[in-house]
Structure 1
Amino acid sequence: MAISLLIVLAGTVGMLLLLLTWFGSRSITPEIEDDLDPILGARDPTAIYESHGPFIPMPAHLKTSDQMVDWMTKELPKLTAEIANPRT
């Protein structure tokens, strides 16, 4: 009798684990089409930036975080203003 109950219990636990592995991954990972999502798709990150407007790379000569913050607060607004309002 005890062996029969253990077999039934093991079968139940096994079926629950099988259902969890079968349906569990589908509920965690969102179903996103690769062609529609530029981040998860096969597109190049540079192509993502180029497709959404101008991309201004940070200059390579900036090494410390203070230099980067200084450039972002002083120079970057000037560059974005020039892009938004081009001079003719």
Structure 2
Amino acid sequence: MADLAISLLVVLAGAIGMLLLLLTWFGGRTITPEIDDDLDPILGARDPMAIYESHGPFIPMPAHLKTSDQMVDWMTKELPKLTAEIANPRA
């Protein structure tokens, strides 16, 4: 009878231990804080252009480029010319 009681206690302790392990493993991942800060430059209502202007020159991709081939063509041909002009301004 004592062996049965000990084995039941071991099973119960193992089940409680696994439950606590699962709660500590997944418990922190279920709650994600929501940031409602308007001053946050990435998530807030601030203009994205103002973010880039504060960190140096920003060259926006032209709006007429629709396909990925057009974008890659622009990035390989026109963008290096524009960045070279920014790096070496003509006096």
TM-score by length of 1: 0.58
Which one has a larger percent helix, Structure 1 or Structure 2? 1
> Structure 1: any 5+ residue segments left out of the alignment?
29-41
4+ aligned runs moved over 6 Å, structure 1: none
Residue 12 of structure 1 is matched in structure 2 by: 14
Distance 1:14 1:48, change over 3 A: farther
Q: Count how many residue pairs are aligned between Structure 1 and Structure 2.
A: 73
**How far apart are residue 87 of structure 1 and its match?**
2.2
Residue 41 of structure 2 is matched in structure 1 by: 43
> Structure 2: any 5+ residue segments left out of the alignment?
30-39
Look up the equivalent residue of 2:90 and give its one-letter code: R
Aligned-residue sequence identity (percent) comes to 64
Q: Distance in 2 between matches of 1:81 and 1:52?
A: 18
Q: Distance in 2 between matches of 1:3 and 1:50?
A: 72
Aligned: 1:73 with 2:76: yes
RMSD: 3.0
Look up the equivalent residue of 2:12 and give its one-letter code: A
**How far apart are residue 9 of structure 1 and its match?**
1.4
